[in-house]
Amino acid sequence: MKKVSIKAVLSTLLILIFLFLAFTGALLYFGKTGVVWGFSRHLLREIHFWAAVSMCALVPVHLILNLGLYLSELKMFGKKKNDK
């Protein structure tokens, strides 16, 4: 698999996991009862936790794969408009 394809898949996974975390977090926060949409709060907490663990594992990989781009953006940030 090409590096560009890996980056695309990884970025898509991170976006989906983030949306899932936001959704399950909102369910846990606003759903004050024991069962939310047929899921127990315990199960929702477990799913939310493991999604967060997977995101914590994938973010460093994402940062390593995009380190060159990040460093070049930092160099551009330090330059003034008239510098080339």
Give the pLDDT confidence of 7-65 residue by residue, as tens digits: 899 999 999 999 999 999 988 888 777 787 788 888 999 999 999 999 999 999 999 99
Give yes or no for residue 82 having a pLDDT over 80. Answer: no
**Domain residue extents for the chain:** 3-78
Q: What is the pLDDT of residue 63?
A: 92
Say how far apart CA 8 and CA 4 lie, in whole Å.
6
Q: pTM for the complete prediction?
A: 0.75
List all residues 6 or more positions away from 35 whose beta carbon is below 8 Å from its beta carbon: 41
Q: Residue ranges of the alpha helices (H) in the chain? A: 3-30, 41-65, 67-78
